Amino acid sequence: MANEVLYKPDPFYIMDIKTPRHHFLSARYKQSFAYKTMKIRLPNILQNIIEDTTKNFENISSEFGEVGIQRFVAIWKDIRDIVDKILDLKYELENDHVMKTFEGIEGDKWLWNNFLNDLNNDSNTFLKACWLYSECYIYRRLYYFFENHIMLKTYDYFAQNKQNAFIISVEPMLQILHGLESMKTDIVDDNLKILLKLNLWGNRCDLSISSGKEVRLSGNPFEHVKSLDEKVIIDESSQVIESLKSANRRNAVVIEFICDNAGYELFTDFILADYLIERKLADKVRFNLKAIPWFISDATINDFRWSLQYMKGHESPVLREYGKKWQNFVVENKFEVANINYFWTSPYEYYRMSEIDPDLYKRLSTSHLIIFKGDLNYRKLISDFSWDFTESFETCIRGFRPTNICSLRTVKADLICGLLEGQSDILEKESKDWMITGEYGTIQFASKVIRNS
């Protein structure tokens, strides 16, 4: 399957070069990760969804009510129809068709259609468009097929992958929880640096990079984090910590997590959030989750709830204890799940938020710190743009400064900013693929701009 896609003749506008500096990342450039994603990885992911959905027919039927013969037949017809539509989407992707507008019941139809209608003819196909736009479109189109069927409109076809990712990570989770107990008497700054890096490296467990295959962790997580210190190629954790310590305590201190993956990474989000609450560095941590199944492993509200419920019912006493504790945090409003917002599953870069969703921008402006998790959030922060590697983070976020910003990212896409002069040359000598393997991580910070009244 993969080789068929790879050797299909490319359109004339595909250039066998790397992405030129100061151009948007796009599958136009054959020596880019965008090209590999759009030509190989995404068609394979779509094929996997077809196979998984068909194979899991009986489980899907059970999940959506009592299985009488009429319901059984109706769900099977829905699945067959959806499979045909996914095959059509795969064909359109492989043959670089124009990205179609939406015509169903989806709540963000206007958001996407306005965006798509604004693309010109030179940037409205899967391979011509900015990689961020076309990759987000694929995942949004995929859910469109399900939500417009009465039977399957709430079906999360990635749920089993995400739940398995959580279950196979129980052992390292237990080691973290035991380690968390010993941090109660240690120096806060040192603990925060460790927990920020633990949260950073949790982002390695990304099922979209592995095309849905399980990512198993081994060894002690804290020892693992220490061993990866040299792999943190930008470390502005001290600035993040100073920001946390300098918060204005006259008002409630709110920290926003713009979450990425479910499973182990979401657990490390809980760990960092717990520490911020317990050490009174935050009064509330708000979790911003995806509105729909997204990039295979991204966390939805259902994933958030399932994770806590799974912990609460686990045979391990310490896992049960923390599951109950964090559910109580939700009840006490120390952990808050933000209302669903389709901006997080839109194609828009974050510098456009104040224009596209001013209410969301205003809400974020009332928090003290926003922690953006993972590679896709990083791409949206700096616009899927081939910046000079030494360009400052503040420049590349293009004025998006609602409040203090922290980005925790393992590097899985060929764009980056904030490196020192010559640093990329050293990394290139170590590995020509250093930007796409997840081997390196960054902790970047931008402080809130204080505007004169």
Summary mean pLDDT of the chain: 93
CB 131 within 8 A of CB 384: yes
State residue 7's pLDDT score.
54
Q: Evaluate if pTM is beyond 0.85.
A: yes
4 pLDDT higher than 60: no
Confidence of residue 181 (pLDDT cuts 50, 70, 90): confident
Confidence of residue 1 (pLDDT cuts 50, 70, 90): very low
Phi, psi torsion values for 24, nearest 5 degrees:
-70, 145
Confidence of residue 182 (pLDDT cuts 50, 70, 90): confident
CA 199/CA 273 separation, integer angstroms: 10
Confidence of residue 60 (pLDDT cuts 50, 70, 90): confident
State residue 151's pLDDT score.
86
Phi, psi torsion values for 404, nearest 5 degrees:
-65, 140
Summarised one tens digit per residue, pLDDT across range 78-100 is: 999 999 999 999 999 999 999 99
Q: How far is CA 37 from CA 10, 26, 40, 42, 211, in A?
A: 14, 10, 6, 6, 10
234 pLDDT higher than 70: yes
Question: Is the pLDDT higher at 294 or at 3?
Answer: 294
213 pLDDT higher than 80: no
381 pLDDT higher than 70: yes
Name all domains of the chain by residue range, CATH numbers in brackets.
Answer: 2-147 (1.20.930.60), 159-446 (3.40.50.10880)
337 pLDDT higher than 80: yes
pLDDT > 70 fraction of the chain, expressed in percent and rounded = 94
State residue 69's pLDDT score.
74
**Mean pLDDT value of segment 392-404:** 98
Confidence of residue 453 (pLDDT cuts 50, 70, 90): very low
378 pLDDT higher than 50: yes
404-410 vs 441-446, strand pairing mode: antiparallel
